[in-house]
Each structure stands twice: as C-alpha cells, then as structure tokens.
Amino acid sequence: MAEAPVLEDTERTTGRVALRKNIAAAMALSGAVRSTLGPKGLDKLLLDDEGRTLVTNDGVTVLETARVEHPVARMLIDASSAQDRAARDGTTSAVVIAAELLRNAWHLVLQGVHPSTIVRGYRIAEIEAMTHLESIAFEGNEDDLVTAVRSSLAGKASRGVQTRLADLAMEAARCVERTVDGTHEVDPTRVSKIIAVGRPATDSEIVEGLVLQKRRAHPEMIRLVENDTIALLDGALERRNMRGDVTFQATSPDVLEALRRREISRLLEDVEAVAAAGVKVLAVSGAIDDEAHRRLLDLEIQAFRRVPSNDLDLLALATGATVLHHVDALRAEACGTVLESRSHLIGDLHHWTVRGEGTAATLIARGSGDEIAEETSRCFDDALGVAAHLRKDRRLLVGGGASHVHLARHLRRVAEATPGREQLAIEAFADALEVIPRALAENAGLDPIDALLDVTAAQAEADDGGARIGLHLDKREPTDLGEAGVLEPLSVIKPTVSGATEAACAVLRIDDVLWARLEAQIPDDIQAQLDAMGGQDD
C-alpha cells in the first residue's frame, strides 16, 4: 500500500517493534542515572559545549543536561522534571522505576499479554500503592523531619555539610511559614541566597530577613534604620535626558545652564517628594545622581541604588511595600515598613539586611572557594524544597528500599486476589519497585539478589510487618533504617511511584512511531541486553 505523501520523509515503526525500541530507549536512559542512586551512588561529570564542567549525582540534572532526542526518553525526562518540581527529590528513583516497569512489561508482551492489559494492571497496582504507602507512613517529630531532610542530601555533600544544611533548611522553612486565608503556606521563593567565599561550607548560616550584597548610595548615609518607612522604586533618581530625535539650538550658554538647573530642580523635587511621604529607606533599580544622593544624605534617608528588579520584588514581600515605577505615584499606602534596615560588612563586602513584617530569610552560603560555595547553595535548594514540603505534610516513610520492598510484598498479595491477566501486571509492578533496593545495593558494591532476599525475609519475620526494615549499606545487613536515620517524606515517594507509572503507561500505549529523521542511537551495551531479552524485530 502506498504511504501517504506526508510520510515520505519519515521512518515508521509499528506495534511490537515500536514498543521494543521505545523500551530500549527508556532503559538506556535509566542506565545513565541508575549508578548515581543513593548515598553510595557515583557522581557524573557533565561537560557542555563550551567545555564547562559540572560534577553532580543528581538524576534530574544529568538528564536535563544530556541532549536526548529520543521522544520516549524525553517522556521519562519530563517525568523526572515533574518529580523535581513536585517534590525536589526522588528524580532518579522516578526514572529508574519507570524504566523497570517498562522492562517488566516487555517480558509480559513476549508472553502474549497485550499492552493495554498491562496498563490496566499497572493502574490497579498504582492505586493500591498509594493507599498502602499512606498506611505505612507515620507523623514525624521535629527531629525526624530534620533527619529526613538530611537523608535527601545523601550522596550530595560531606556528612558535616549535610547536617548543617538540613538544620538551615528547616530553619529557613520555619522563617517563611505563614497562614494565608486559613491555609498554611511555606514559600521557598521567599528565601534568598548570597554566596560568601572564604570560610568552610559548615559555617553557612540563615539570617532572618533579606540580605542583599549592596552598599549605601553614599558612605556617610545612616547605617541603621529601625521601625520606619521604606519605598521601592523601579526607576532612577537622575536628571531626565532628552529623548527622541530632537535638534536643539542654544543661542547662548545661559540657555544651557538654565536648562541644567531646571533638570536638577526637577530631580530635587522628586527627592523632596520621597521625604514628604515620610520615607527613611529608599531602594531604586536605576542610578541616583550626585545631586540627589547629597540631598538624600541631608534628609537622613538611607538609599540604595542599582537594586535588581527581582530583589525589589523580594523587598516588597518582606516589607509590604509596592514597587513603584515613578516617584509621582508615591503615597503612604505604597510604602512598607522595615523593622530593621542595616548596612554592614560580611567579610569585607558591604551588605544590606532588611527585616520587615513579611516573612523572608536569607542563606549565606559559604565555601572555601566559589565552586564549593555554589555547590552548598545548590544542595541547600534541594534541602529547602524538601523541608518546605515537610512543614506542610509531616508524614514520613523509611527509605533505603524498606518501603519499596514492603509495598512489593503487599502488591503480590493483591495480585493473588486479582482475577485475569492483570494479575501478571500487578506482579510485574511489584517486581519493578524492587529495583530501588537492588540499585542501592549494587551501588554499594553488594550483591543485589542476596540483599533483596535478605531484606524480604527479614521483613516477613518481623512482628510489626517489617515496613522499617531495609538494607543498611554500611552494616551490609537488614536493619531498622528508621532508627538508622534513613527517612523520606511520603510526599517524595508517592509521586515517584505515580509519576513512573504514568510515564510507563504512556509509553505502553504507543504502537506507532513516525520518525521524521534519523533514529536516536542505542548504546551497544543496552542493545546487547535487549538482544539477550529476546523478542527480536519481527
């Protein structure tokens, strides 16, 4: 049959061949990040076009940086990014579980189970999984929450830095906690960060309020203002330049001088307007001309120039002021209140610390060099994301594969009670979840099969159901990981399982792939694994 002309430049694969290739892509992708999973996971060195390097063991960073063109691989990367947005953690787990769900689905397809039956079975398993995870979760106390934040940094910084950042993240989350219209809100965007090089990362700290790397517009300006009025201007205090294509013919030097005086007096009028509104602290995004800051100095107004617009927004949140675009709009209602506005030195750099009624906090990320301080700041971001979630939902699960093994055991019982071929899919789903403890063991240099068998047996023998028993990667034996301090938010684990299911089911539903250009490369080792799995192109 002739292909429609529109498909002339495309390569087309359908049915089983398409599925097989798509699953190969998913596995190749998961293979790229699986070795980073867990505290013993290895780092990846990423190199970009311009030769810049980044060492990371964060799954989503690896995937988002890699230039992957395969559409199915992109679906998994999107699942990982969605996980990052939703929970700030669990990005590697989401991809690894999704790929494993697909690999197990392929085995079923080879046995003659239709992909849509598998999708139905996976959906049943997912719903069961959500309920079961909730049933084994527990409310954490304050210490547990800090422990869970620290677990989320596993493999990321040194032990000392992890502990420090976990404490700081919880402190910052507390600082920006508030109740809006009856709902409890923790907004991580209210936490800003500055980098200060020169001291170890463990000396990083949280300051309540907003700290900006800024000096006063004039060194003689007042240093400390307390309980007074602030105005924010997204504009400048400078002489207005003539704009447009105007030709100006001055007939005498006096005309020019008069013009200059007029400009200055207009500028000073603006300054007087600021003072008349009772403003004692002023931040502007543009410049402040000499004449203006001299007058500001006389009026005892503390002023800061060239404050970036996004910092003005943060100042607005912290002080309740509105960002104005012109002095003419300045009214008392547009002003905010500072409890404290202090200009001071951190190290040998000038900083401006502002505390207002609004919630805000600033991390001072330290490190002996730029790279370390930047890395401290990146790790803090992740920790803060997790901390913010935990202040809203304190439910925790035990990590290190303990919850995954428990869930897999539960699902196998569910499978037994499910009629039809969906039963096979639910079993395949249970097997797929065990990829987490297997990969954790593998990355720690343990035998994954023995490790999994040991944990499963230890859980089955435990009187309480064994949901806390997982593999201790140092002791190398099944242990109560809750006591060992490996805790994870329920709000991280749940979306890894549901996101992975969604991505896997979306791939299973594809049975026709039209390639506009060349097919993406499948690495040789993955191709070899696939060939070993059987089911050659028919």
Site for ligand ADP contains 89 (CB under 6 A): yes
Least distance in angstroms from the C-beta of 282 to Mg ion: 43
Q: Which of 19, 29, 154, 157 binds ligand ADP (CB under 6 A)?
A: 154
478 binds ligand ADP, rule: CB under 6 A: no
Cα 358 to Cα 168, 195, 209, 215, 344: the distances in Å are 19, 23, 9, 23, 22
Cβ 403 to ligand ADP shortest distance, Å = 8
Interaction of residue 133 with ligand ADP, rule CB under 6 A: no
Select from 446, 195, 237 the least CA-distant residue to 330: 237
Residue 50 CB, shortest distance to ligand ADP, in Å, is 27
Tokens matching residue 485 = 């301090």
Task: Name residue 126's amino acid.
Answer: E
> Number of C-alpha atoms within 13 angstroms, CB side, residue 480?
7
Instruction: Annotate 486-535 with three-state secondary structure.
Output: CEEEHHHHHHHHHHHHHHHHHHHCCCEEEECCCCCCCCHHHHHHHHHHCC
**Which residues lie closer than 8 Å to 340 by C-beta, 6 or more apart?**
209, 224, 225, 226, 353, 354, 355
| Nearest-angstrom CA–CA distance, 436 and 404 | 7
**Which residues are bridge partners to 178 per DSSP?**
185
Size of the residue set binding ligand ADP (CB under 6 A): 21
- Establish whether 56 is a catalytic residue: no
Give residues 410-439 in contact with ligand ADP (rule: CB under 6 A). Answer: 436
DSSP letter assigned to residue 48: -
CB of 60 to ligand ADP, least distance (A): 7
Question: 92 catalytic, yes or no?
Answer: yes
**376 binding partner (options Mg ion, ligand ADP, none; Cβ < 5 to 8 Å by kind):** none
Of these, 26, 76, 90, 288, which contacts ligand ADP (CB under 6 A)? 90
Is 41 a binder of ligand ADP (CB under 6 A)?
Answer: yes
Q: Is 479 exposed, middle or buried (0-12, 13-18, 19+ CB in 10 A)?
A: buried
Q: Which of 382, 418, 454, 456 is catalytic?
A: 382
Q: Which of 22, 36, 229, 343 binds ligand ADP (CB under 6 A)?
A: 36
Between 58 and 77, how does the x/- string for binding to ligand ADP read (CB under 6 A)?
A: -x------------------
Residue 436 interacts with which of Mg ion, ligand ADP, none, CB < 5 to 8 Å by class: ligand ADP
CB of 282 to ligand ADP, least distance (A): 45
Closest chain position to Mg ion (CB):
89
- Taking residues 390 to 409 in sequence order and writing x for each that binds ligand ADP by CB under 6 A, - otherwise, the string is ---------xx---------
41 DSSP 8-state letter:
P
155 binds ligand ADP (CB under 6 A): yes
Q: Are 287 and 236 in contact (CB under 8 A)?
A: yes
Q: Which of 13, 92, 117, 362 is catalytic?
A: 92
Task: Report residue 117: phi and psi, to 5°.
Answer: -70, -40
Among 128, 454, 488, 502, binds ligand ADP (CB under 6 A): 488
CB of 93 closer than 8 Å to CB of 37: yes
38 binds ligand ADP (CB under 6 A): yes
Is residue 451 near ligand ADP by the rule CB under 6 A?
A: no
Q: Check if 58 is active-site.
A: yes
Active-site residue among 91, 359, 456, 496? 91
> Which of Mg ion, ligand ADP, none sits in contact with 488, Cβ below 5 to 8 A by type?
ligand ADP
Residue 363 contacts residue 377 (beta carbons within 8 Å): yes
Name the binder of 360 from Mg ion, ligand ADP, none, CB < 5-8 A by kind.
none
- Choosing from 58, 84, 311, 454, the catalytic residue is 58
Half-sphere exposure for 380 (CA within 13 Å, toward CB): 35
CB of 148 to ligand ADP, least distance (A): 10
Choose from ligand ADP, Mg ion, none: what does 385 bind? Cβ within 5-8 Å by kind: none
Q: Round to whole Å and give the CA distance between 288 and 306.
A: 8
Contact in structure between 40 and 538 (CB atoms under 8 Å)? no
Q: Note whether 379 binds ligand ADP by CB under 6 A.
A: no
CA–CA dist 86, 162 (Å, integer): 22
| Residue 466 sits in the site that holds ligand ADP (CB under 6 A) | no
Residue numbers 81-100 binding Mg ion by CB under 5 A:
89
Are the CB atoms for 191 and 360 separated by under 8 Å? yes
Q: Are 511 and 23 in contact (CB under 8 A)?
A: no
**Which residues participate in catalysis according to the annotation?**
58, 91-92, 382
Contacts to Mg ion by CB under 5 A: 89
Contacts to ligand ADP by CB under 6 A: 36-39, 41, 59, 89-93, 151, 154-155, 399-400, 436, 440, 473, 486, 488
